[in-house]
Amino acid sequence: MKKILLYLMFVAGIGYSCNDKISVNQVYSFELQTLPVPKRIKKGETVEIRCKIVKEGNYAETMYFIRYFQPDGNGKLCLDDNRQLTPNDLFKLKNETFRLYYTSRCTDQQVIDVYIEDNQGQVVYKSFSFSNENEDKNVNEEKEE
């Protein structure tokens, strides 16, 4: 009788521990890495910003989106697939490695804040600041006089 009871407990333990639902981690932290970017820019000049999303893990259904804000200055930002981004709007990224192209439209100090979001609600942020190259040269010329 003891053997039957032990056998039933063993079978029940196996049955209880077996679960057809596999736990899959769907949320992995990530960061945005960029290569160095020039600090000075002229009006009409375009600067390339090389970007890569570096993830802690991989979940095939993760999607990434980009948005940007420009608190200072005036310029335009485009993706490497020629999509022009509009400030505050969310755009889906097609690749985890991509390039941004910022074109200056003014002679003032310029700042762009780039946000990368995933479909799980995580957000990373990177800020880029450019001073006007012409403005810096004029300041230096005035000091020399």
Average model confidence (pLDDT) across the chain: 85
**What is the span of the domain harbouring residue 63?**
30-133
Is 50 part of any domain?
yes
pTM (predicted TM-score): 0.75
Is 47 part of any domain?
yes
**Number of domains observed in the structure of the chain:** 1
pLDDT at 8 over 90: no
Is 113 part of any domain?
yes
Is 4 part of any domain?
no
- The DSSP secondary structure of the chain, one letter per residue, reads -HHHHHHHHHHHHHHHH--SPPP------EEEEE----SEE-TT-EEEEEEEEEESS--TT--EEEEEEEEES-EEEEETTSPEE-TT--EE-S-SEEEEEEEE-SSS-EEEEEEEEETTS-EEEEEEEEEEHHHHHHHHHHHH-
Band (pLDDT 50/70/90 cuts) for residue 144 is very low
For residue 97, the surrounding DSSP H or E stretch is: strand 97-104
Per-residue pLDDT, 4: 67
Is 48 part of any domain?
yes
Instruction: For residue 83, give the nearest of 73, 75, 74, 91 by alpha carbon.
Output: 91
Is 89 part of any domain?
yes
| Calculated CA dihedral for residues 94, 124, 107, 132, nearest 10 degrees | -110
Is 96 part of any domain?
yes
59 versus 66: the higher-pLDDT residue is 66
Is 44 part of any domain?
yes
Count of H helices and E strands in the chain? 2, 10
Query: Could you report the per-residue pLDDT of 66-115, keeping only the tens digit for each?
Result: 999 999 999 999 999 999 999 999 999 999 999 999 999 999 999 999 99
User: What CATH number should be reported for the domain holding residue 85?
Assistant: 2.60.40.2410
For residue 101, the surrounding DSSP H or E stretch is: strand 97-104
